Every structure is written in structure tokens, then in C-alpha cells.
Structure 1
Amino acid sequence: MLYFFLAAVLVAADQIVKALVRLYIPVGAQLPFLPHVLGLTYAQNTGAAFSIFHQHTWILTLTSLVVSVLLVVLLARRTFPQRWAMCSLAVVLAGAVGNLIDRVIFGYVTDMFQTLFITFPIFNVADICIVCGGISFVVYYLFFGEKEDGHDSADSHR
């Protein structure tokens, strides 16, 4: 299936980038990447964004597992008729699985991208997948989902 292939490619990219960071950048060290925009900083995050739940990694691991299983079911059943929605879910799945792998193997998530122009949590490829896939799916659902299912919002009020 195309959607699982997309998710697998993104998980592989996430894991390759994380492995390279663990191999070549000392924890806490920062390397220039895009001057004044983005740096590479190796961080081991046991929590979520802004290190929330940092003492409860098991909750985040369980949440990632449940979300991953749910997304696999939605994709396998082809729950949504349009590729846009399904690709968006596949991208979210890739992010959830990428971070789940880290939590299970290492007990933390490897983060590396640090914005230099604003204060923002250090993030990784999986995080990018979760955010971009999630936003894409919400846009699809809000603006196109009902129309494609044949449920016009005017009909639902009759």
C-alpha cells in the first residue's frame, strides 16, 4: 500500500537523521545548519514539547503506541476516500512511529533541530511529520471532508 510505504520512508529518514546526530554530535553541542535560522543541537528528550511529561516517558510511549495502532487501522481500512487525507494520516503515523522507536529503544527521543530566531523546543523529523501531517489532515477535514462524503453542510441542517 502506498500509504504504508510513505510512512516507512519517512520513518527511515527520521531514524537515519537521528542515528547520524547520535553518532557525530555530542549531547548538548550545537552545529551551524542554516545561519541565523536553524542549528543542529543534539538533545535527549524524555518528555514532549517543552519537556512536558519528562518524568512520565511511559505515558508518551503508550500514547504513541495507541495512536500508531489507530492510524494503522484507519489506513488499512482506507477510512477516507481521498489521497490527501490518507497521505496526511500516513505522515502522522510516520512521526508517531519514529518517536515511538526512540522511546522504546533509548528511553528518550533524539531531537536536533533548534530554531535560532525564536525560542522554540528542539525538534526532529518525526515531530515535523506529526505537525505537518496533522495540520494537513485538519485542513482537509475542515474544508473538503464533508463535501467529498456527499454530505453538504446545507443538507445536514434540513
Structure 2
Amino acid sequence: MAIIALLLAAAAVAADQILKLLVTSNLQPNSGFNVIDGFFKIFYIQNRGAAFGMLQNQRWFFILVTLSISAVIIYALFKYRQHNFFSYAASVLIIGGGIGNLIDRVLYGYVVDYIYVTFFPPIFNFADCCVTVGTVFLIIHILFFSDLNSNAEKVIRSK
């Protein structure tokens, strides 16, 4: 199952890179168009920071962090014994999204962002969505399905 998860992560990377190629080949930086007027827009920016523009121009920091987190998750895919839907989905999405943005940082020095919705001002991309949903799935797995949760319950009950 770990190999399938890695193949799905590779598919997420491919989808991310194809979407970014479509954006960069059809738009100039800081330009875009409305998809749903007043709600959803494709607007291309070059993000040299993290989410919400934090930590601008920390390219090597993000490269090292992404490589480290991806390596830990790949190791866990093969060694962890209590996988379920949430842990596999989290792994696929976090690796896929992380590597998608890593490719941008290595090749260009910035991440291509292009999704703008009016109720959430920061502009983001498909890879960001993958990492965010993957992180939520990981939290669900840890809180409700992992040994960490059952060990915490044992400690609480013993007191």
C-alpha cells in the first residue's frame, strides 16, 4: 500500500505542476481573470514566502523543511503499522503538495500561486490545498485512530 501511496503522491505532484504550467504559460505575474465574478479568480503571483506571505525569501529553509518532512512521512509509510484511510490520504497529500511546491522553489526560487477566493484573501495553489487537507487528515488520524490517542486515554483512565 505504501507504493500505491507514493504513486498517488506523484500524481498529485503532476497535477500541481500541470496546473502551474497552464497558469504561467497563459498569464503574466500579477494578472488574472474572474472565474466566478466576485467570488473566485485565477490570479498569478510569485510567492517567495510561506502561507499568507510569511517568511519571505527563506527559500533554503523551506527546501530543507520540505525535504525533511517528506523523508519522515515516506519512512512512516513503510514502517508505521496502524495505517488507515486518514494516514494514507494524509501521506499522499502532504508529500504530493510539499514536493509540488518544492519543485517551484528549486527551479524558480518562488512558488506559483493562482487561486483567489474572496472569503479567503491569501492567494494559494493546488499544492497548498493538498498540504492543508493532508494535515487535517493527519490530525484526525492522530486524535482518533493512532496509538498516541489510545496511550493518552490509558494514562487519563489510570489517574
Q: State the Cα distance separating 1:76 from its structure 2 match.
A: 2.5
What secondary structure, in the 3-state scheme, does the structure 1 residue paired with 2:56 have?
coil
Residue identity opposite 1:49 in structure 2: A
> Partners in 2 of 1:150 and 1:49 — Cα distance?
33
- Structure 1 residue 86, shift from structure 2 partner: 1.7
Take 2:69 and 2:152, find their aligned partners in 1: how far apart are those partners?
29
Q: CA 1:157 to 1:59, structure 2 compared with 1: closer, same or farther past 3 Å?
A: same
Q: Which residue of 1 aligns with 2:137?
A: 136
**Residue aligning to 1:43:** 45
Aligned residue pairs total 156
Q: Which runs of 5+ in 2 are unaligned?
A: none
In structure 1, C-alpha distance between the alignment counterparts of 2:100 and 2:51, rounded to whole Å: 15
Match of 1:153 in 2: 153
Please list the CA deviations of residues 110-141 of structure 1 after superposition, one character each: whole Å capped at 9, or x if unmatched: 000011234x2110011000000101110122
**TM-score of the superposition, structure 1-length normalised?**
0.88
User: How does 1:65-144 map onto structure 2 within 5 Å?
Assistant: 65-118=67-120, 120-144=121-145
From the superposition, tell whether residues 105 and 79 of structure 1 become closer, same or farther in structure 2 (CA, over 3 Å).
farther
Q: Which residue matches 1:11?
A: 13
Q: Percent identity among equivalent residues?
A: 31
Quote the residue 1:58 is aligned against. 60
SS at match of 2:135: helix
Say if 2:86 and 2:140, in contact at 8 Å, map to a contact too: no
* Distance in 1 between residues matched to 2:150 and 2:156, nearest whole Å: 10
Judged with a 3 Å threshold, the aligned counterparts in structure 2 of structure 1 residues 143 and 42 are, in CA distance, closer, same or farther, namely same
Cα distance change on mapping 1:154 and 1:14 into 2, 3 Å = same
Give how far 1:152 is off. Answer: 8.0
- 1:71/1:90 contact within 8 Å kept: no
Helix, strand or coil for the counterpart of 1:88? helix
- How far has the Cα of 1:55 moved from its partner? 2.3
Which stretch has the larger CA shift, 94-103 or 79-88? Answer: 79-88
Distance between the aligned counterparts of 1:29 and 1:74, measured in 2?
41
Cα distance in 1 for partners of 2:87, 2:104 equals: 26
